[in-house]
Amino acid sequence: MKKSGVESEKKFKTHTTFKWLLREIKFFIGMTCLMLVFLTTVWGHYKIPSESMQPTLEVGDHLYVSKFAYGYSRHSMVFNLHKLPFLKKGKLFSKLPERGDVAVFRNPKSDIIMIKRIIGLPGDKIFLKEGRLYINEKLVKRENTDEFLYREHKSSVVKVKKYDETLLNSDKAYSIYERSDEGPLDITNEFIVPDGKIFFMGDNRDNSLDSRAYRGPGYVPLDHLIGRAEVIMFSFKRCKKEENLVCPPFRLMKRI
C-alpha cells in the first residue's frame, strides 16, 4: 500500500509539473506572437549604424519607428520573416509618404535595412548642381547656420558647413551637413522618380550612399518602406571632448 501511495504521489507531481510546463510554454508562445505582431504592425525599434543622417541622427541612436504610417508589406515583418516564400509582394493599407519624412526601408539591391530622408515622390524631377538641390526645377532653400570641425565615428576629423534646408511646399526646416559643394554627389543628372517609387537622400550629403549614388539603393519601391522614424529614445553615442571640435549632445526622447 505504501509503495502504491508513493507511486501515485510521483505520478501526481509529474502530472502537475507537466501541466505547469505546458502552461509556461503556452504563455511564452503567446507573448512571442504578441510581440511579433506588435513589432510588425505598430512600432519598430532600430539602431543607427552610420553617419549618413547627421546631424539629424547620430551613430548609436535608438529609434522608434511607426509601422502603420505607410501601410504594411512583407518588409514590415521582423527578423528575416520577409523571406518566407508564401508572402506576396504589394502593400496593405498603403499610404504615400510625405516629402521630407525620415523613413526606414529595405534596400531593394542589398536587402539591408536603411534610413534616409524622402526627397522625391513618384513623378518628381530631381537633380543637384554645385551642391544645391532642385526639385521639379525649383531650387530648394537652404541657410548656412554654422561651420565647424568634428571627429567622425571612424576617427578622422572633417570640416562641415551646417545648413537649414526647407523643402518645397513645407514650412518645416531640417539641418544638413555639407563638406563642400564640389563632391562627387553634388552634381548629378536629372532623376525622374518612377511611379510607385521613392527617392532618398541622407542629411550628411557628402557621406551618404543614397539614391544619388551608383552603389546606392536607387529608386525604392513603396512596398519596401518599413515605417516613419518618430522618436529618438536614447543614444549610446559618447563623444570625447576635444579642443576646437564639436561633440554631439546626448539625446533622450527627442522627436525627429
In which residue are the cell numbers 565647424 written? Answer: 148
CA atoms of 176 and 183, how far apart (whole Å):
15
Q: Which of 67, 91, 116, 197 is catalytic?
A: 116
CA atoms of 215 and 235, how far apart (whole Å):
29
Clarify whether 110 is annotated catalytic: no
Residue 152 CB partners (closer than 8 Å, separation 6+):
51, 158, 207
In which residue are the cell numbers 554631439 written? Answer: 248
Clarify whether 175 is annotated catalytic: no
Residue 165, amino acid: E
CA atoms of 203 and 11, how far apart (whole Å):
66
C-alpha cell belonging to residue 185? 554627389
Measuring CA to CA, which residue among 204, 236, 207 is closest to residue 61? 236
Active site residues: 52, 116
